Structure 1
Amino acid sequence: MSFSVKVEPSGHTFPVEADEPVLDAALRHGLTLPYGCRNGACGSCMGKVVEGKIAYPDGELPPALTEEQAIAGMALFCQARARGDLIIETREVAEGQDIPIKKLPTRIAEMSRLNHDVMLLKLKLPASERLQFLAGQYVDFVLKDGRRRSFSLANAPHDDAFLVLHIRHVEGGRFTGEVFDKMQVKDILRIEGPFGGFYLREESDRPIIFMAGGTGFAPIKGMIEHAFALGSERPMHLYWGARAARDLYMASLPEQWLKAHANFRYTPVLSEPMDEDNWQGRTGYVHEAIVQDYPELGGYDIYASGPPPMVYAGQAMFPAHGLDLDHYYSDAFEYNRD
């Protein structure tokens, strides 16, 4: 059985199953309500039930909710279950500065090679913690000697049981060398975040062009999956640039999106395909492929993520094709230096 939840003052609505927390349902449908621990201990997700009834597991109030607050209609939406249609009052997170930055320990839950030089890392936070973030943001690893290394989150906000990173091995890179040669599952690392102004602007209704280079696919993956969760009907076209076919390390995933979503298009572009690739697709530079297909960019939002030369080349070229740089959102993967 499912019920309807209306959020005030935004007016957004979403369905919730009778046995799932209201917060989980909101996140699953792309609405970013505030939260912290996800287990009722911190109170960050507190809001008001304006109409309707809720219940809590075992009939007990969560630790961060007092009886007086409950009588006044306040609720912790990470634990509250709907017992009918609801109208709730809570803010929605729209910008990065709305989210508190945390420094947390994490445990490596999974490591897997995605290709010859990209490692997938899944990080698990303590049971009492969750890291809220916007699709496209990044976290810092805080190392023992004070160094920091920044990596974009590859998962969407509703899928936050783990923090997922795509880490490319950099020749001579001290940290990425440790990731590939020394780190193991169950190792403990310390992170801080989320950071960054590179996130999906949900209020826009403009069609989107995504330009990814290499592991710049990671934050864009999170954005696209978040847009799908929102039920967005905005046209989206992903261009993913790489040297050779082996560098498109999750090439089957955009192909799955193509089959499942009529508003999504995908164009991989290789700059140096190898003979064994037998490549029949687009070649050259990815920003040039975009202007070949879209000579007039005035009505678009463009999100660019990956190597700085690609990001800056788009920034230089696209205005000549009508793009207002206020609608060019970018994350250039500059290497951290000690």
Structure 2
Amino acid sequence: MTFCITVQPSGRQFDSAPGEAMLIAGIRQGIGLPYGCKDGACGSCKCKLLSGSVVHGPHQAKALSPEEEAAGYVLTCCGVAQSDVVIESRQVTEAGAFPIKKMPVRVASMERASHDVIVLTLQLPSADAFQYHAGQYVEFLLRDGDRRSYSMANAPHTQASTPTVELHVRHMPGGKFTDHVFGPMKDKDILRIEGPYGSFYLREDSDKPMVLLASGTGFAPIKALIEHMRHTGITRPATLYWGGRRPTDLYQSAWIEGQLAAMPNLRYVPVISDALAEDAWTGRTGFVHSAVLQDIPELSGHEVYACGAPIVVESARREYAAAGLPEEAFFADSFTSAKDKL
């Protein structure tokens, strides 16, 4: 027996099969619900249950606390409808969702950007093989059935000249996928990906100034947004805050500096939390999300696009709301690792 899922305030509807998570049902039918990890770890898909009954699969309390569940909130990524359901979701797209595809890709290049980051470029089967929004991600399909998610760091328009996607892979020692990338993987190896996934992309119907917040390799989808903004001529004021422990963690600062001359609307604020004396760092220090509030203590007139470690994204979400940022103006992609999803 299928159940009808209604999404308010858009009024869009779709059906969920028995035992099927609402998010997966929505993706299957082209309904653009917000989400990030799809594994009950990040909370990006959390929304209000207006009516009906939902049972949750495994998830973490940081994504949905018992108090939030008691207050009527659900995670669509692991919430299974037990009846017809009405939910309230602020990011349902009417159009523009691209089809999710599985495809083989070939390793075109591997460039060591820092001691623990590789810029991985993958050759696509053809220029029209893969469509996505700047900011979305793909999943690698591993041989044992596991998956690993990485955001595209290049904007879609770059496919016209070279059908490749650029990914920024940080080494997680002991990681099933990253140990392979930093070890035996070589040029021309064949991998399999599926995508595009994610609801993190630029909302172009706004003229509000933007805060682009990145920690670590959370810079990857932000880079794609910046490329897209430059290509399409978007001139909304935007300030990129990129945080790392040490200056070497900001592995493409030179690329950003190169964009500033061509994009007078873009500012760049690098922030370092644990610089050593040998780094001779003279720039901003502390937590990157706090640097935003030091510069913009009142955020009600802004939009924020935040990517990176879950603790950074969640701290920003909480503290920016207290600084006046409307919930619907905070867009995030929390970079949960396999360890985060345990």
TM-score under structure 2 normalisation? Answer: 0.70
The worse-fitting range, judged by mean Cα deviation, of 143-152 and 127-136 is: 127-136
Are 2:205 and 1:206 equivalent residues in the alignment? no
Query: For residues 12-23 of structure 1, what are the structure 2 equivalents within 5 Å?
Result: none
Find the aligned partners of 2:96 and 2:238 in 1 and give their Cα distance.
26
Counterpart of 1:122? 121
Query: For residues 142-161 of structure 1, what are the structure 2 equivalents within 5 Å?
Result: 142-160=141-159, 161=163
Find the aligned partners of 2:99 and 2:232 in 1 and give their Cα distance.
23
Counterpart of 2:230? 228
Coordinate RMSD, CA, aligned: 1.4
- State whether residues 96 and 197 of structure 1, in contact with CA within 8 Å, keep that contact through their aligned partners in structure 2: no
Are 2:167 and 1:165 equivalent residues in the alignment? yes
Equivalences, count? 245
Cα distance, 1:186–1:298 mapped onto 2, change above 3 Å: same
Find the aligned partners of 2:302 and 2:143 in 1 and give their Cα distance.
43
* Offset of residue 171 of structure 1: 2.1
Query: For residues 267-286 of structure 1, what are the structure 2 equivalents within 5 Å?
Result: 267-286=269-288
Render the CA deviation track for 1:2-43: whole Å, top value 9, x for unaligned: xxxxxxxxxxxxxxxxxxxxxxxxxxxxxxxxxxxxxxxxxx
Find the aligned partners of 2:337 and 2:318 in 1 and give their Cα distance.
21
Letter in 2 for 1:123: L
Cα distance, 1:120–1:96 mapped onto 2, change above 3 Å: farther
Counterpart of 1:179? 181
The worse-fitting range, judged by mean Cα deviation, of 270-279 and 211-220 is: 270-279
Counting aligned pairs with the same residue, the percent is 50
Render the CA deviation track for 1:34-70: whole Å, top value 9, x for unaligned: xxxxxxxxxxxxxxxxxxxxxxxxxxxxxxxxxxxxx
Find the aligned partners of 1:218 and 1:301 in 2 and give their Cα distance.
19
Rg bigger for which structure?
1
- State whether residues 113 and 119 of structure 1, in contact with CA within 8 Å, keep that contact through their aligned partners in structure 2: yes
Find the aligned partners of 2:216 and 2:288 in 1 and give their Cα distance.
11
Query: For residues 19-30 of structure 1, what are the structure 2 equivalents within 5 Å?
Result: none
Cα distance, 1:224–1:148 mapped onto 2, change above 3 Å: same
Query: For residues 127-146 of structure 1, what are the structure 2 equivalents within 5 Å?
Result: 127=126, 129-146=128-145
Find the aligned partners of 1:211 and 1:309 in 2 and give their Cα distance.
13
Letter in 2 for 1:121: L
Gaps of at least 5 residues in structure 2 are 1-92
Cα distance, 1:96–1:331 mapped onto 2, change above 3 Å: farther
Gaps of at least 5 residues in structure 1 are 1-93
Find the aligned partners of 1:166 and 1:188 in 2 and give their Cα distance.
18
Find the aligned partners of 1:139 and 1:97 in 2 and give their Cα distance.
17
Letter in 2 for 1:207: P
Letter in 1 for 2:131: Q
Cα distance, 1:270–1:95 mapped onto 2, change above 3 Å: farther
Report the 3-state secondary structure (helix = DSSP H, G, I; strand = E; otherwise coil) of the residue aligned with 2:130: coil
- State whether residues 297 and 323 of structure 1, in contact with CA within 8 Å, keep that contact through their aligned partners in structure 2: yes
Report the 3-state secondary structure (helix = DSSP H, G, I; strand = E; otherwise coil) of the residue aligned with 1:166: strand
Query: For residues 267-306 of structure 1, what are the structure 2 equivalents within 5 Å?
Result: 267-306=269-308
Render the CA deviation track for 1:294-314: whole Å, top value 9, x for unaligned: 011001010000000000000
Find the aligned partners of 2:109 and 2:219 in 1 and give their Cα distance.
20
Render the CA deviation track for 1:128-182: whole Å, top value 9, x for unaligned: 7521000000000001110100000000010122111000001221110000001
Report the 3-state secondary structure (helix = DSSP H, G, I; strand = E; otherwise coil) of the residue aligned with 1:265: strand
Are 2:245 and 1:246 equivalent residues in the alignment? no
Report the 3-state secondary structure (helix = DSSP H, G, I; strand = E; otherwise coil) of the residue aligned with 1:225: helix
Report the 3-state secondary structure (helix = DSSP H, G, I; strand = E; otherwise coil) of the residue aligned with 1:322: coil
Report the 3-state secondary structure (helix = DSSP H, G, I; strand = E; otherwise coil) of the residue aligned with 1:190: strand
> Runs of 4 or more off by more than 3 Å in structure 1?
94-97
- State whether residues 122 and 164 of structure 1, in contact with CA within 8 Å, keep that contact through their aligned partners in structure 2: yes
